[in-house]
Chain A
Amino acid sequence: MRDSKKTTISASSPLGKRSGLSNTGILLLITVSLFVILYVSSTILFKDSNFAKYSVFFNLINNKAYLLMLALGLTVVLITGSIDISVGSVTGLVSMVIATMLSSQSNISAIWAIPISLLIGVAFGIVQGYLVSYMEIQPFIVTLSGLFFARGMISVINPKSVPISDKLFMSWSSAKVYIPFLYNERKNGTMDVAYLTPAAITAIAVLIIMIIVMKKTKFGRSLYSVGGNPQSALLMGVNVKRIKFMAHVLCGLLAGIGGLLYTLFAPSGNPQNGYGYEIDAISSSVIGGVMLSGGVGLPIGTLFGVLINSLIERVVPLLGIVDASWPRIISSAFLFVFIVLQSLFASAGHKGSFKPVLPQWMRFNLKKKN
C-alpha cells in the first residue's frame, strides 16, 4: 500500500471514476512541462545563444548520450526498489580500459572496444545483482563497494591520462549524421544543419528498446510489480529474486554501454572520468519521474530528466555564472524539489486508511486539479 496517493476515494464517490492521472502520469507531465518551460524561457532570454536552432536542441542529446544510458540503468533498478551507485565509476573504468587498449602502443582493433565495455558492465551487474538479491545485502552497500572497486581499478590499470589514437575509434567519435530536414540559416547564408553523433543514435536506439522492454514485455512489467509490492509480486507468481538480479545485470549492461558512449564523447582515459556521474544519473531518473520508493517511472521520463540536466549545464554559464559548480547546485535544487514532490505522492499506509506524510499546507490536492 505504500506508494498510494493522498486521495482516498470515499465510499460515496461514484465508483469506477478515475481520480485523475496516475502518479506516473503526473510526474511525467511535470517533468515534460518543466523542460518545455525551461527551454522556451532560455530561447527568449538568450537570443544570442540560438536555442531556437535545431542543432542546439540536438546537441543536448549529443552531449549527454552516455548519461541517458546510465540514467536508464538507474531507472530500471530504482523501479525495482533497489539502487546502483557504481555506474559512474564503471563508466570511468570502461573508458580507461578502452583508452589503454587503443593507445598508441597497442594494435588491437577498435571493434573490440564494444564487447569489452559491455562485458565489464555485465560483470559488475552480475556480481552486484547476486549480492543484492540472493545474499540479501543492502544494495547501497554493495554498489558502494562496486564504486570503490571500479574507481580503484582505474588507477590500477593506468593512473595517468591516456589519449586514444586509434583511427577507427576516432572516426566513430567524430562522425556526425546530419538530419537534412532540420536546419537553420546562419547570418552568413550557410546552413546550420542539426546532426546526431553515433553515440546519440545508439542511445536513442537503446532508449526505444528500453521503452518497449518496460512497456511490452513480461520482464518489464515484472520489474514494476517487484517495485510496487514484492510480497504481492511473489504471490502472483513473479520470481522476485531473479527479477532483482536481472535488473542489476541490465543496469550493469547499460552502464557498460554508457562507458562506451562516454569514451566516444570524450576519447581519452582519465582517472577522473565518470566521477560523480552516478549522482547525475540518479537525479536525471528522479527528475524524470522515477519514484525512489520503487514501482513508478518511465524511460521516456528519464530522457526528459537527462535533457533537463543537459539544459541546465548549458544555460547556467549564460546567466553570467562562470563557476562550474553552479549547474550542480541548481541540479541538486531540482532534485530536492522532485524528492519533496515524491513525498507528496507517497503516503504511509495504515491498514486501509491513508495517512498523509506532509502537513496540510504542503499537500497537493488531486481532486481540485481534476
Chain B
Amino acid sequence: MKMGLFNDRKGPAMLSPSAGKKLLNNRLIFSLLVLMVVVVQNIITTPNFFEITMTNGLLSGYIPNILDEASELIIVTMGMTLVIAASGGVDLSVGPIMAIAASFCGLLLNGSEYRTDVYHSPYFLAILFGLVGAALCGAFNGFLVSRLKIQPMIATLILFTAGRSIAKQITHGQTIYIMNPTYKWLGVQIPGIPIRTTILVSIAIVILVVLLVKLTSLGLYIQSVGINGSAARLVGLNSRVIKFMAFVICGILAGVAGLVSSSSVGSVNSGELGLSIEMDAILAVALGGNNLGGGKFSIAGSVIGAYTIQAITTTLYAMNVRADQLNVFKAIIIIVIIVASSEVFKEKVNRLFRHITKKNVPVGGLSDERQ
C-alpha cells in the first residue's frame, strides 16, 4: 500500500512486488507457458510437426491429430466450466454420463442384437434419445445440488459410482458393435469432407456454448450466482434454477461427447467410454485460469486448457510414456498450478518480496486521523 514510500529507500532494485503479483494473478499464463513449452519441444523433436498431409481423403498430421483427440475433452470441458462457475463444485459424473448416452443410442440402433449393420430405429431418434438420457442424468445431479443443497462433488459421486453399471445394464452387459457405416459419420468422417467430424463437432459445440453464454444472459447469471449468491437473489436471480441449468447443460454436453466417442470407435463399451475424463476436464478448467471456487469463467481459457492437456498427453505418448503413467505428470502439473495460484502461496511470495524490498525500513505506525 505504502510502496511509494519504501521505493525511495536504498533497497536493492528487485522485481517490483506488484509486477510479480500481476504475473501470478494471471493464471492463464501457466497454461500458455506449458502449451508453449510443449509445442517448442515438439517442434525440436519432430521436424514434421507442422506437416499436414492428405490420407484417405482426410487431413492428417500432428496438429489435426491433437485437435481430433482433444475434441471429446473440449466438449466435456465446456459443461464442466459452467458447472464449476455456477456451483463452485465439480461434476464427477461426466464420464459415466457419456457411457449412458452412448448406451441409449446404441440400444435404439441395435435393438437387442449386439452386432448389426441395420439400424432398428432412425439414427436421428437414437441420438435424440441418447441426449435426453444424458440430460436426465444432468437433471438428477442438478436436483441434488440445487434443491437438496448437497455439495456438487458428493452429489455427482452417486452417478459416478453407479453410472457405468447403469450403462452396462442398458446394453444388457455387452459391448455393442454398430457396423452401419453411417454410424461413423459423427466420430470419424462424413464422406467428402476432408476434416475429421470430431473436430467440426467440437468447434460447433464451442461456438454453441459461446453463443449461449453471450447471446443470452446465461453467462452473466452464472457468474453472478457463482460470485455472490445472496446479492444475486436480491437482484432477482433464481440461483436454484441457474445451478440446475448448468448441470443439465453439462449433462447434455457429456452426452454429445459420449456419442462422438462411441461413433469414433464404432461400438458402445460402457466400461471404457470417457474413462477418467472428468479428471482431465477439471484439470483443463483449472489450467484455463478459471477459479475452481466458482464465479468468473472464460470459455477461451478452458479451450486452451483442454488443448494444453491434450498436447501434453500426445507429446508424452510420443516419448513412449504409457497411458497410465501419464497420470504422474498430470498430478504434478495440477498441483504446481493450483499451489502457485493459491492465495496462501501468493501471500507468501508477496511477503518474500516485501521482505527483500523492505529491508532496513522501520516499522512505522500509520495514523490516518479521521476527518
Contacts and interface: CB of A to CB of B under 8 A. Distances in A.
Do A's and B's CB atoms come within 8 Å in the complex?
A: yes
B339 A131 contact: yes
A20 interface: no
Contacts, number: 123
Nearest to B173: A323
Contact of A149 (B153, B155, B164, B328): B328
A286 B338 CA distance: 29
B272 interface: no
Contacts of B158: 332, 335-336, 339
Contacts of B159: 332
Interface stretch (A3-11, A26-34, A135-143): A135-143
Contact of A148 (B279, B322, B344): B279
Nearest to A89: B327
A335 B324 contact: no
Interface stretch (B20-28, B121-129, B329-337): B329-337
B161 A328 contact: yes
Nearest to A331: B161
B97 to A, nearest CB: 14
A69 to B, nearest CB: 20
A144 B153 CA distance: 12
Contact of B155 (A137, A328, A339): A339
Nearest to B162: A332
A357 B157 contact: no
A326 interface: yes
B162 A141 contact: no
B343 A340 contact: no
A276 B96 CA distance: 13
B149 interface: yes
A228 interface: no
A271 interface: yes
A329 B100 CA distance: 13
Contact of A332 (B153, B161, B293, B345): B161
Interface stretch (A154-162, A190-198, A217-225): A154-162
Nearest to B326: A152
B168 A325 contact: yes
A154 B324 contact: yes
Given A134-B344, A135-B344, A138-B292, A329 B165 contact: yes
A333 interface: yes
Interface of B: 90, 144, 148-151, 153-155, 157-162, 164-166, 168-169, 173, 279, 282, 286, 292-293, 322, 324-332, 334-335, 338-339, 342-345
